[in-house]
Copies of this chain bind each other. A is one copy, B any other.
Amino acid sequence: MLTEVATAETPRTHVHALFPESPKTHERSPAGVSMSFPRNGEIFAEGETAGYVYKVVSGVVRVSKLLPDGRRQISAFHLPGDMFGFEIDEVHHDSAEAVVPVKVVAFRWQGLLGAGASANLVRELLTRTMIGLRHTQDHLLLLGRKNALERLAAFLLEMADRSGSADVLDLAMPRHDIADYLGLTLETVSRMFAELKEMGRIRLESARRVHVLDMDKLRAMAA
C-alpha cells in the first residue's frame, strides 16, 4: 500500500487558480493530502511539473492527451482505488480532470524512487504500472482494429467489469468523453448505443443508465 508515504507539504495550487470553482478541501492525513475537485476540474495538465501521484477516493477521473488542433484522446478513466499521475521525468505527459466531483489523496512523488524508497513501495508501483501498460495495450488493439460497434461493446463490458459485473451501469461520463476514449465522435457513439438497443443487447433507462440485457452476447460482439 502507498499509505506509508505521507507528506507535510501542501501541494501547489496555482494549477487550479484559473478554475472558477477551486478545490474545496486540502486536508492533511497520515495517508497523504486529501484534495477535492469539481466536475471538469483540472487535476494536472500536460507539461506541468509532476509533484504528486494521486489515488482516487471517490468519483471518476479522465486522463487524456491533446493534439495542437484540439483533437483529444482519453487513455483511461480512473475509478476509486486507482492511482494515476506517475511520471519518469517529473513532467506530466498528459492531463487529468474530474469527470464528476472527485476526491483524491495526493502523495509526494519526489523521493518515491529515491535511494530511501522501500522495496515494497517500488514493487507496488511496478505492479500498478504494468497493469496500466496492459490496459493501454488492450486499448491499442481496440483503437487500431475494432469497429465502432465493437468498441462500444468493449467499453460497456469494461465498465461492467469494474463495477463488480453489475448489469445496470451508471456511466459517469458524457458521450463526448466516451467518444474520445474510443476514438470516435459523439454522434457515432450515440448511434452505436441505438444499434445495441435495437439488437436487444441493452436497454437505456436514461442516457447515462444502461441496462445490459445479455452480458455474454455483448462479450461476443466485442471481438
**Would you call A143 an interface residue if the criterion is a C-beta within 8 Å of the partner chain's C-beta atoms?**
yes
Q: Which residues of B contact A3 (CB under 8 A)?
A: none
Closest to A183 in B: B144
Cβ proximity bits A100-128 to B, threshold 8 Å, 1 near / 0 not: 00000000000001000101001101110
Contact A126/B113 with A133-B132, A133-B136, A137-B75 known, Cβ cut-off 8 Å: yes
Q: Cα distance A119–B73 when bound, in Å?
A: 35
Q: Which residues of B contact A69 (CB under 8 A)?
A: 223
**Would you call A2 an interface residue if the criterion is a C-beta within 8 Å of the partner chain's C-beta atoms?**
no
Tell me if A88 and B134 are in contact (CB < 8 A). yes
Contact A67/B141 with A88-B134, A119-B119, A123-B122 known, Cβ cut-off 8 Å: yes
Task: Bin the interface of chain A by size.
Answer: 35 or more
**Would you call A86 an interface residue if the criterion is a C-beta within 8 Å of the partner chain's C-beta atoms?**
yes
Cβ proximity bits A131-156 to B, threshold 8 Å, 1 near / 0 not: 11110111111011110000000000
Is the contact region of chain A dominated by helix, strand, or loop, or is it mixed? helix
Q: Which residues of B contact A123 (CB under 8 A)?
A: 113, 117, 122
**Would you call A129 an interface residue if the criterion is a C-beta within 8 Å of the partner chain's C-beta atoms?**
yes
Copies of this chain assembled into the complex: 2
Tell me if A73 and B145 are in contact (CB < 8 A). yes
**Would you call A93 an interface residue if the criterion is a C-beta within 8 Å of the partner chain's C-beta atoms?**
yes
**Would you call A213 an interface residue if the criterion is a C-beta within 8 Å of the partner chain's C-beta atoms?**
no
**Would you call A65 an interface residue if the criterion is a C-beta within 8 Å of the partner chain's C-beta atoms?**
yes
Checking B65, B73, B88, B133 against A127 with a beta-carbon cut-off of 8 angstroms, the contacting residue is B88
Q: Which residues of B contact A143 (CB under 8 A)?
A: 140, 143-144, 183
A-B contact pairs, 10 of them (CB 8 A): A67-B145, A72-B145, A73-B141, A117-B119, A126-B126, A129-B129, A129-B133, A132-B133, A133-B136, A145-B183
Q: Besides the contacts A86-B130, A126-B129, A129-B133, what 17 more A-B pairs have beta carbons closer than 8 Å? A: A65-B137, A65-B140, A67-B141, A67-B145, A71-B145, A72-B145, A73-B140, A73-B145, A75-B137, A88-B130, A93-B134, A93-B137, A126-B126, A132-B133, A136-B136, A139-B140, A144-B183
